[in-house]
Structure 1
Amino acid sequence: MNIFSLSIRCLARKRVRTILLFCIVFLASGFIYAGWACRSASVQTQTEGKRAIGASFRLEENEANRHVRSSEAIKKIGDSANGSADGTHVEQLESGDWMIWHDNSFETLQMDDILTLASQDGIAEYNITTVNTVVNAVNFMRIEDPDMEQFGEGNWVSLRGNQEMRLDMDVQSGNIEVREGRMIAEDDKDVCVISRELADLNGLKLGDTLEFNKRSEPETATVCQAEIIGIYETIYKMTPVMYGDSYRSENVIFTDLRFPEKAEGHENDPLYQYATFWVENVDEYDTIKEQMKQADIDWNRYDFLDNTGMSDTVASNFGDMETMSTVILVLVICSSVVILFLVCLFWLGNRVHEIGVLLAMGKRKSMIVMQMLLEGILIGSIAFGLATFCAPAISENVADYLVGYELEQQETEKNAEQGIKLYLEDDTEVVGVQVAVTGEVILLSVCSVLGIIVAAVLFSCVSVAVKKPQEILSRMS
C-alpha cells in the first residue's frame, strides 16, 4: 500500500481528528485570505447632495526634476561665475561661499500647463493654490505663542492664494469654516479671509483693510492692501508647512490668487504650488486620468497625483487598514501554527501503536513523517478550496469591520484633539468596501496555509524523529 492510499485510509478512519483539522485550516484560510485582500482594499464613500469630492487629481512639482533643472541652469551660468539662468541665480558672497537660489519663475507650476489639463474633456472644475507666502503684517498684530522662540521672525503672517477658496484643501477637509462674510471667488481682487483669533486680537471686522509688504524690507517696501470679506473659524488646526508662528493656523490668511505675489514684492511673478482638478463623472475617473496623462505638457516637471485625501476612493484616509491587516495575518498564522501543532501532537500520542506497526513493517521514520505531512496537506487542500469560495464574503466582512474601527478611531481623535488629520466631511458616509481576491492574493494565501501545515506537522513530528525505533515499540506494550 503506497503512502497516498495509507494517508487517505487514516483520514477516513479517524473522522473526529479529520473534521477538527479541517475546521481549523478552513478558518485559518478564510482569515488569511481576508488579511491579504484587505491590504489593498479601497474604501468607497458617498457625499449626500454633493458631487463626489474625491474624483480629483493634483498637479505639483517633481523634486527630482527640480534638481535636474537647477543643475542645467548652473552649467549655463558656468563654473565659478556669478549670474542667472532660467530662474536660477548664483552669487559668491564676501566670505567666499557660494549662494544658489531660485526665483518664483523656476519654482512655480506653469499656468499654460494647468489650463491645458483643465480644458480636458470630463474636468468639471479646477483650483490653483499658491505656496504659503510669508509677508510682513503692517497695520495689525499676528498671533504669537509667548513661550515659543521666534528665531528672528518679525510680525509675519502667511498668505495663501486660491483661485476658488471653496476648493482649498483645508476648506474641503473641514478644517476651517467661514462663519462671517463669504469665501473668495475667482473674480475677486485684493481681498482676504482671516481667522477669528486674528480678528479678535486686532478688533477687525468685515470691510476693514489689512496692509502687507515684503518681510525683508518692512520699512521701505511697497505696502499692499486687502479688504476683509470673510472670517473663518478653525475646526481642526491646519498642518503648518514649516516651524514658527508665521505658519501657525491662526496666522494663515486666505487671499485671491494673485495677491501673495504683490505683497511679497514679486508682482507678475506668481508661485503656484498646487493645481487640483475634479472630474465630472466619478465612474469615468480612471479613463479621464489616462486621458489627462496624454496631454501635451512637460510631464517630467510634475508629479500627477490622484486620491489627494478628498477622494471618493479614500483608501488613503484609512492608512491603518494595511497595518491592521498585517497584524491579522501575523496573529492568524502564528495562532494556527500553535493550534495545529498541539492538535497534531495530541493525536501523535494516540498513534503510537500505528507508528510502531509501521516501524515493525520496515517503514523508515522519514516515510512516517511524510505520511503525517501528506495527511495535513490533503485536509488543507479541501479546506482551502472551500475557503476560496467563501473568501470574498469573509474578506468584505473583515474589511467592513476594519473600516468601522478606523472611523471610530478618527472620531475619537477628532474629539480628543484639534487634529490636523484629513477626515471625511460630516455628510460623507462609507457606503462600501471593495476587496478583490486576485490571483496574487490566492497565491500568497496558498503559500501561507501550506507553510502553516508544514510547520505544525514537522514540529509535532520531532518527538517521532528523535526517538529510536526501540523506544517507540516499547511504548506499544
Structure 2
Amino acid sequence: MNILELSIHCLVRKRTKSILLLSVVFVTSCFIYAGWACKSANVQTQTEGKQALGASFRMEENEADRHDRTAEAIKKLGGQNGSVDGSHIEQLESGDWMISHDNSFETLQMEDIETLAGQEGIAEYNVTTANIVVNPVNFVRIEDPDVDQHSDLLGVSLRGNMEMRLDFDVQNGNIEVNEGRMITSEDKDVCVISRELAELNGLMIGDKLEFNDRKKRETSKVYSAEIVGVYDTIHKITPIMYGDSYRSENIIMTDLRFPEKPQGCEGDPLYQYATFWVENVDEYDTVKEQIKKADINWKRYDFLDNTGMSDTMAENFGDLDEMSSMILILVSVSGAVIISLVFLFWLKSRIHEIGVFLAIGKSKVAIIAQMMLEGILIGCISFTLATVCAPVLSKGVADYLVGYQVKQQEEQREAEKGMTGGAGVAEYESEVVGVETKVTGKIILLSASSILGVIFIAVSSSCMLVVVQKPKEILSRMS
C-alpha cells in the first residue's frame, strides 16, 4: 500500500476526527477566500439626489489616494514642521499636529481633464470648482437671525463653472436663470446670484459685487465680478456644510477662474468635478471603456457614470482593503492554531499506530509525510467545497464591511455636525448601493496558496510531537 492509499485509508477509518478537521479547514478556507475577494471588491456608490442628466460621466477626487499622498508628505517631512507637495504640517503648542493643503494638492488636474475631453465620442465637458467661501465686501449675505453665527465662516460661497448651463444644479433643474443669462467659457469676472440675494441688496444686472479673502478681510485685495444673471431656486439645494455661508441663497455662480482670486489663491484653482457628455447615447458603454484606457493617473480619481454609479476598487473605499488584510491575517493565524490543536488531538489518539509504523522500520520522515498528505487531502476537499460557497460568503462579508464603514462615517458626520471649516470641498454625500465581489482565477490561486500554507504550518507544528520523541519513548506509550 503506497503513501496515498494509506493516507486515504486512515482518513476513512477515523471518520469522526476527519469530519472535525474537515469542518475546521472548510471554515478557514471560506474566510480566506472572502478576505482575498474583499481586497479586490468593487463598491458601487450613488450620489444622493444630485445625479447628472443624460449620457455623461463625472470625475472627482479619490479620497483614498488623497489620504496616501498626505501620508507620503508627512513621511517626507520626517516629523518636522514644513511644507511639501502642497501639504503644510505644523505642530501646535498643545502638541497636536495640524495638516492643511493647497488647492494644488486637492484639485483635479486640468491636463487629465483635457485628455479625457479629447477622447473620441465625447461631445462636450464642464469643469466645476469647489464651493469657496469668501468675504462679501459691498453687499450683505442672507442670515438666519435666530442662529448663532459664532462658528460660521461669515461669508458667501463662490462656485465656478466652465459652462454654467452644464452645472449639476442647472442640469438637475434645481435652479433656473430667468433674468439675464448664464455664464459661458468666454466670460471673465462675472457672476450669477440668487433672487433672494438680489432682492435683499437691491442688486440688478450690470451691478458689480466685491469679494476678498475671508481670513484677511481688512488687508487682502478686493476683486469684483459683474452680475450677468439672477437665478430662481426651483428645488432647495441642500447645503454642503452647516452654516449660512453654505446656504443655497448665498451660493454665487461665477466663471471658472474667479473663485481662486478672492480666496487668495490666484493661479492655484480648486477644480472639484469634471463632467463629460457622450455624443451618441447608444455608444455610451463603448466610450466609457475607451475613456478608462486614457493615459492619466487614474489612482487619483473616482469615475462615475450618468446614474451616479461608480466602480471603485476596494482600496478606494475607506479602509476596506486594510480590513480585508486584517481578516486574512486573523483567519490564517487562528486557523493555523486551531488546525494544529485538532491535529495534535488526532496524533495523540494515533500513538499506537505511529508506534507500529516505527516498529516495522518506517522512518519519522515517512510518518510525517503521510500526516502532511492527509492534511493536504483534507485541504483539497475543504477548498473545493469552499470554492462553491465563496461567491455568496465573499459578498456577505464585503457587504458587512462596507455597511460597517458607512455606519462609522455616519457617526463621524453626526459628531462633526455643526462644525465648519476647510475650503468647501466634499460637495455631496455618496450612498453605497451595491458591492460586487468576483472569485477570479487569481483569487482562487491566492486562496489555495494561503490554505496550503496554513495546513503546512499547522501539520508541521503539531507533528513536532513525533519529531521530538525518540522511537523508544513512543513505543513505551503503546498500550
TM-score tier by shorter-chain length is: 0.5 to 0.7
Task: Report the counterpart of residue 330 of structure 1 in structure 2.
Answer: 329
**Aligned equivalents of 1:179 and 1:286: distance in 2?**
29
| Residues 384, 472 of structure 1: alpha-carbon distance in 2 compared, 3 angstrom cutoff | same
Task: Report the counterpart of residue 66 of structure 2 in structure 1.
Answer: none
Task: Report the counterpart of residue 467 of structure 1 in structure 2.
Answer: 469
Task: Report the counterpart of residue 2 of structure 1 in structure 2.
Answer: 2
**Aligned equivalents of 2:355 and 2:240: distance in 1?**
72
Q: Deviations over 1:361-398 (max 9, x none)?
A: 22222322221111101111122123223322322232
| Residues 474, 249 of structure 1: alpha-carbon distance in 2 compared, 3 angstrom cutoff | farther
Instruction: Please tell me whether the aligned partners of residues 58 and 276 of structure 2 are also in contact (alpha carbons under 8 angstroms).
Output: yes
Instruction: Please tell me whether the aligned partners of residues 211 and 224 of structure 2 are also in contact (alpha carbons under 8 angstroms).
Output: yes
Q: How far off is 1:343 after superposition?
A: 0.9
Whichever residue aligns with residue 36 of structure 1, its letter is W
Instruction: Please tell me whether the aligned partners of residues 113 and 274 of structure 2 are also in contact (alpha carbons under 8 angstroms).
Output: no
Instruction: Please tell me whether the aligned partners of residues 122 and 288 of structure 1 are also in contact (alpha carbons under 8 angstroms).
Output: no
- Which of 437, 456, 459 is the aligned partner of 1:457? 459
Task: Report the counterpart of residue 288 of structure 1 in structure 2.
Answer: 290
Whichever residue aligns with residue 398 of structure 2, its letter is A
Q: Deviations over 1:391-448 (max 9, x none)?
A: 22322232233333333334444444338767655xx661x43222222211211111
Task: Report the counterpart of residue 321 of structure 1 in structure 2.
Answer: 320
Task: Report the counterpart of residue 81 of structure 1 in structure 2.
Answer: none
Q: How far off is 1:291 after superposition?
A: 6.9
Q: How far off is 1:303 after superposition?
A: 9.2
Gaps of 5+ in 1: 61-103, 239-244, 294-298
Is 2:403 aligned against 1:404?
Answer: yes
Q: How far off is 1:134 after superposition?
A: 8.5
Instruction: Please tell me whether the aligned partners of residues 184 and 255 of structure 2 are also in contact (alpha carbons under 8 angstroms).
Output: no
What is the 5 A alignment of 1:73-472?
117-118=116-117, 120-123=119-122, 125-130=124-129, 137-140=136-139, 159-164=158-163, 185-187=182-184, 190-193=190-193, 211-212=209-210, 223-226=224-227, 229=231, 235-237=239-241, 254-257=252-255, 260=258, 273=271, 276-280=274-278, 283-284=285-286, 286-290=288-292, 305-307=301-303, 311-315=309-313, 318-418=317-417, 424=429, 430=433, 432-472=434-474
Q: How far off is 1:351 after superposition?
A: 0.9
Q: How far off is 1:453 after superposition?
A: 0.6
**Aligned equivalents of 1:236 and 1:352: distance in 2?**
70
Q: Number of aligned pairs? A: 403
Gaps of 5+ in 2: 63-103, 420-424
Identity %: 41
Instruction: Please tell me whether the aligned partners of residues 211 and 224 of structure 1 are also in contact (alpha carbons under 8 angstroms).
Output: yes
Instruction: Please tell me whether the aligned partners of residues 355 and 474 of structure 2 are also in contact (alpha carbons under 8 angstroms).
Output: yes
Task: Report the counterpart of residue 35 of structure 1 in structure 2.
Answer: 35
Instruction: Please tell me whether the aligned partners of residues 109 and 274 of structure 1 are also in contact (alpha carbons under 8 angstroms).
Output: no
Whichever residue aligns with residue 467 of structure 2, its letter is A
- TM-score, normalising length: structure 1: 0.65
| Residues 57, 182 of structure 1: alpha-carbon distance in 2 compared, 3 angstrom cutoff | farther
**Aligned equivalents of 1:421 and 1:59: distance in 2?**
9
| Residues 459, 265 of structure 1: alpha-carbon distance in 2 compared, 3 angstrom cutoff | closer
- TM-score, normalising length: structure 2: 0.65
**Aligned equivalents of 1:424 and 1:275: distance in 2?**
14
SS at structure 2 position matched to 1:55: strand
Q: How far off is 1:469 after superposition?
A: 1.8
Q: How far off is 1:139 after superposition?
A: 1.8
Instruction: Please tell me whether the aligned partners of residues 46 and 432 of structure 2 are also in contact (alpha carbons under 8 angstroms).
Output: yes
